[in-house]
Amino acid sequence: MANVAVIGCGYVGVVSSACFAKLGHDVTCIDIDADRISALRMGRSPIYEPELDALVQEGLASGRLHFLDDYPDQLDARVVFIAVNTPGSQEGAADLRAVRDAVATVATRIGPGTVLVNKSTVPIGTGEIVHGMAHRNGNGPFAVVSNPEFLREGSAVHDFLHPERIVLGSDDAWAIDMVAELYAGLRPAIQRVDIRTAEMIKYASNAFLATKISFINEMAAICEALGADVREVATGMGMDSRISPHFLYAGLGWGGSCFPKDVRALTHMAEAHGAHPQLLRSVSEINHHQRLRVLAKLRSSLGPLEGRRVLVLGASFKGNTDDTRNSPALELVRLLLLEGATAVVHDPVVRPERIAEGAPGAVCAASILEGADGAEAAVIATEWDDYRELDFVNLRARMARPLIVDARNLLDGRAARAAGFEYRCVGRPGEEGLPFPVTPALAVPTGVER
């Protein structure tokens, strides 16, 4: 077992710290946010994540998990993970100030032979920057390893403890061995690469997953135009092992802390170095357009949205998390407000103050039925289980007009229509009660191969 330090008690830092303690390591997690540290010392995670509170409490009880709101004079750790935030600028470039501050501070408190691990998502080349800063500020030699995280919000604890792969990048084989040993109890598949390749794997992985979502959303638009069902199309595609069914879910598009930032950052890096990332630009454009398509569905049923009262079900960027960063649901709310609508938002986990931060002017509802009072439409914007089985009878009784726009394809459209609702969804024209196109297929001249 090893002494490990984690700098940053955000999403990645807290999950990593609690899970390393679960594996038997002695872990010190440091963050300058005193309120956050105080909550963690009482066993309360600052984020909503299934299983995480229990894991933090287990680590505290075992004596293997420690939280500090300041750096000690000497940090007794052979491996130090940098897990601070790296927000993106408007142009897409990653802001590395928190990484630089953390490295400059920790380098003076660790001894020779310590391994610094970049856990944050950082631009290609950051490993060399960290290596140089550590040696200028500390008493090296130190080694630097890139160990990108692949945790999905909503299942991060499971993902950490059951990894599909661990990527480790460094020019020092002994440093890779030391970090790999921390994960030994999980028996993961480990890919050992150079440090720039490890950094690139993270960006390429997230960009590809975002591409799959944007692809199926573009197929959904085409399905609506041609009368096909995008869910069945995705099922048929996913049965091909080369494609797989994962991330082939048409809806409101992707958001969160990773995909938007990483796609923009990769696009920016490509442009800055003379490459031409046309596909990445299209992936982002399609994603933004999904919100506009939902607005168009509302307009086609209600007419102008000014003065309309619309219930938006969901505020987090996806189910099983309270993260509202780059939330498609809140982007839709802001668009509704810009059009003069009254947007009423319900979310089973996200606090009202977080909703107000992300969409100033929105009205927060304590329950679904409270939000439905007088609403002329209800939009399912986040795939919470709470919304899969709506009380159609009472919902219709409270609404001024029985219209549901299911932007996550969550509901049984037939049940909604049977309850008297006009039901609109994504990429399934037959399911939402719209007629299929009757344009005949283009004829193919005899003798010409299809």
Ordered DSSP codes for 102-146: HHHHHHTTS-TTPEEEE-S---TTHHHHHHHHHHHHSSS--EEEE
94 pLDDT band (50/70/90 cuts)?
confident
Task: List all residues 6 or more positions away from 263 whose beta carbon is below 8 Å from its beta carbon.
Answer: 206, 207, 210, 280, 283, 284
The CA distance from 338 to 394, in Å, is 30
Within this chain, do residues 235 and 157 fall inside the same structural domain, yes or no? no
Q: In the prediction, which pLDDT does 413 show?
A: 93
The CA distance from 225 to 162, in Å, is 41
Residue 394 pLDDT > 60: yes
Q: In what order do the strands lie in the sheet with 3-7?
A: 65-68, 26-30, 3-7, 79-82, 115-118, 143-146, 166-169, 190-193
Within this chain, do residues 171 and 209 fall inside the same structural domain, yes or no? no
Each residue of 287-306: pLDDT tens digit? 999 999 999 999 999 999 99
CA angle 359-365-366, nearest 5°? 130
Q: Which two tokens stand for residue 203?
A: 């960006």
Within this chain, do residues 160 and 187 fall inside the same structural domain, yes or no? yes
Q: In the prediction, which pLDDT does 87 show?
A: 82
Within this chain, do residues 237 and 344 fall inside the same structural domain, yes or no? yes
Within this chain, do residues 181 and 306 fall inside the same structural domain, yes or no? no
CA angle 303-252-357, nearest 5°? 90
The CA distance from 124 to 203, in Å, is 9
Q: Tell me which residue of 47, 44, 86, 89 sits closest to 349, measured CA to CA.
A: 47
Number of Cβ within a 10 Å radius of residue 207: 19
Within this chain, do residues 223 and 340 fall inside the same structural domain, yes or no? yes
201, 314, 335, 374 from 384: Cα distances, Å: 30, 7, 22, 23
Q: Tokens 């509202």 appear where?
A: 324
| Helix pair 278-302, 259-272: axis angle to 10 deg | 140
The CA distance from 365 to 372, in Å, is 9
Each residue of 213-256: pLDDT tens digit? 999 999 999 999 999 999 999 999 999 999 999 999 999 999 99
Domain boundary among 169, 193, 217: 193
Residue 396 pLDDT > 90: yes
Total-model pTM: 0.91
434 pLDDT band (50/70/90 cuts)?
low
Q: In the prediction, which pLDDT does 433 show?
A: 62
Within this chain, do residues 157 and 261 fall inside the same structural domain, yes or no? no
How big is the chain by its Cα radius of gyration, in Å?
24
Domain boundary among 160, 193, 226: 193
Within this chain, do residues 88 and 202 fall inside the same structural domain, yes or no? no
Residue 61 pLDDT > 70: yes
Residue 443 pLDDT > 80: no
358 pLDDT band (50/70/90 cuts)?
very high
Each residue of 272-290: pLDDT tens digit? 999 999 999 999 999 999 9
Q: In the prediction, which pLDDT does 95 show?
A: 87
Each residue of 144-192: pLDDT tens digit? 999 999 999 999 999 999 999 999 999 999 999 999 999 998 988 999 9
Its domain, for residue 340, covers 195-450
Within this chain, do residues 47 and 65 fall inside the same structural domain, yes or no? yes
47, 177, 359 from 260: Cα distances, Å: 20, 33, 18
Within this chain, do residues 237 and 356 fall inside the same structural domain, yes or no? yes
258 is catalytic: yes
Q: Tell me which residue of 314, 300, 323 sits closest to 378, measured CA to CA.
A: 314
Query: Which residue among 19, 29, 258, 425 is the active-site one?
Result: 258
- Alpha-carbon dihedral angle through residues 329, 156, 188, 94, given to the nearest 10 degrees: 60
CATH number for the domain including 319?
Answer: 3.40.50.720
Each residue of 253-276: pLDDT tens digit? 999 999 999 999 999 999 999 999
Domain boundary among 165, 193, 221: 193
Contact between 203 and 150 under an 8 Å Cβ cutoff? The reply is no
Judged by DSSP in three states, 36 sits in helix
Within this chain, do residues 205 and 310 fall inside the same structural domain, yes or no? yes
The CA distance from 329 to 125, in Å, is 34
Contact between 32 and 101 under an 8 Å Cβ cutoff? The reply is no
Q: Which two tokens stand for residue 440?
A: 């005949």
Contact between 383 and 153 under an 8 Å Cβ cutoff? The reply is no
Share above pLDDT 70 across residues of the chain, in percent, rounded to a whole number: 96
Share above pLDDT 90 across residues of the chain, in percent, rounded to a whole number: 89
How many structural domains is the chain composed of? 2
Task: List all residues 6 or more positions away from 275 whose beta carbon is below 8 Å from its beta carbon.
Answer: none
Q: Which two tokens stand for residue 402?
A: 């029985």
Calculate the average pLDDT of the chain.
93
Residue 40 pLDDT > 50: yes
Longest distance between any two alpha carbons in the chain, whole Å: 83
Q: Tokens 């409101």 appear where?
A: 252
Specify the higher pLDDT residue, 36 or 88: 36
Q: In the prediction, which pLDDT does 445 show?
A: 42
Q: In the prediction, which pLDDT does 441 show?
A: 44
Q: In the prediction, which pLDDT does 89 show?
A: 76
Within this chain, do residues 244 and 166 fall inside the same structural domain, yes or no? no
Facing residues of 166 across strands? Answer: 190
